[in-house]
Amino acid sequence: MSSGGNRLLLDLYRTMRRIRTFEERVNELFVRGQSAGSMLHMSIGEESVAGVCKAMEPGDSFTTHHRGHGIFIARGADTKRMMAEIAGKEDGYCSGKGGSMHIADMRLGHLGANAIVGGGIPHVVGAGLSYRNRKLSHVSVAFFGDGAAQQGILYEAMNMAALWKLPVVFCCINNQYGMGTRIDRATANTNLHERALAFGLNGVTIDGRDVEEVHEAAERMINGARNGKPGFIALNCYRFFGHARLDKSPYRDPVEETEGRRKDAVANARAKLATASSAELDELDETVTREMNAAVDHAVAAAAPARDSMFRDVYAPREPQPRPLRQHLSGILGGH
């Protein structure tokens, strides 16, 4: 491997290691009851999405689904602010009001995580149309799961993107499951990129075990989109754990799980980096661990949002503000 190739792989490895360790720490935060909200979707097993994010340029934008921590980290998120958001704290990316599933940050091009399956897909078509009309060279990428690939909105969005030649890429993270349903029980043709070809997009399926291959294919799709031919990437991987933190996936065969977890892009990249000294990689891992420990400490210690900021940035100014629940109920129930 050339030293340039090695540098790229080391960089991708660092990002994937940061995602993995962030997810492990956020899991602990959840278990200790220190995260906001009752759900947590971890992206362990999906880290090679870092290869797609690396192929994007500064100024490019994206949307994610409900399992989007890793994507945002790979696009430059500050892990302290992200952890604080998930803990529902004031200095989180959305002042603690978005939580794990609704993080957004316009400065880094994050147009929003979305808990509606497929909800973030059409937004990138709007972003792409805006870039084209304003003659900007940016690309917008929608990240979503294989479950969202069964939603009609994807096909409306792909059709418009292809027709109007928009700088848009659809990235389907196929972790093989939509909640408890395996992909081959949800669709007859599991070669998801073929659907994109039928709509006139470029399309590719990549084995997510190899982050370098992911990066190379993503570069092709993204460059094509920047030049007016939208693309579709099916990134095949395996959801290592349950759908959300409390799901122990009793519907999965343990043998399948063991096999699936062998498709570990983080371990694979580390093995490929064997030319670097393992002490160097250990040091990198320790630096990442310190970063994520600091993110948790920060999130736990950070202040909660002030009570009177509850509706700020939630409803448009001058719109009627909702009444506090108690007042609303006593309006309905009278004095009872």
Ligand X SMILES: Cc1ncc(C[n+]2csc(CCOP(=O)(O)OP(=O)(O)O)c2C)c(N)n1
Stretch that binds ligand X, among 141-149, 247-255, 291-299, 309-317 (CB under 6 A): 141-149
Under rule CB under 6 A, residue 170 binds ligand X: no
Report the residue from 243, 263, 270, 298 that binds ligand X according to the rule CB under 6 A: 243
Handedness of CA 34, 35, 41, 44 (dihedral sign): negative
Residue nearest to ligand X (CB): 145
Kindly tell me which of 151 and 309 has the beta carbon lying closer to ligand X. 151
Q: In the stretch 189-228, what mask flags binding to ligand X with x, by CB under 6 A? A: ----------------------------------------
Under rule CB under 6 A, residue 136 binds ligand X: no
Rounded CA-CA distance 189/147 in Å is 13
Under rule CB under 6 A, residue 116 binds ligand X: yes
Under rule CB under 6 A, residue 246 binds ligand X: no
State which H helix or E strand residue 262 sits in: helix 254-262
Number of residues that bind ligand X (CB under 6 A): 17
Kindly tell me which of 16 and 49 has the beta carbon lying closer to ligand X. 49
What's the residue count for the chain? 336
In the complex, least distance from residue 207 CB atom to ligand X, rounded to whole angstroms? 17
Rounded CA-CA distance 231/14 in Å is 27
Report the residue from 51, 88, 178, 242 that binds ligand X according to the rule CB under 6 A: 178
Neighbour tally for 235: CB within 10 Å:
26
Report the residue from 19, 77, 148, 233 that binds ligand X according to the rule CB under 6 A: 148
Under rule CB under 6 A, residue 117 binds ligand X: yes
In the complex, least distance from residue 331 CB atom to ligand X, rounded to whole angstroms? 31
Handedness of CA 160, 108, 207, 148 (dihedral sign): negative
Residues 6 or more apart whose Cβ sits within 8 Å of residue 35: 26, 29, 86, 87, 88, 99, 100
In the complex, least distance from residue 245 CB atom to ligand X, rounded to whole angstroms? 12
> φ, ψ for residue 316 (rounded to 5)?
-65, 145
Under rule CB under 6 A, residue 146 binds ligand X: yes
Report the residue from 147, 208, 231, 242 that binds ligand X according to the rule CB under 6 A: 147
Under rule CB under 6 A, residue 65 binds ligand X: yes
Neighbour tally for 205: CB within 10 Å:
18
The token pair that represents 305 in the structure block: 């949002």
Q: What DSSP letter does each residue of 104-166 carry, written as one string?
A: -BGGGTEEEE-SSTTTTHHHHHHHHHHHHHTT----EEEEEETTGGGSHHHHHHHHHHHHTT-
Using CB under 6 A, list all residues that contact ligand X: 65-67, 115-117, 144-148, 175, 177-179, 239, 243
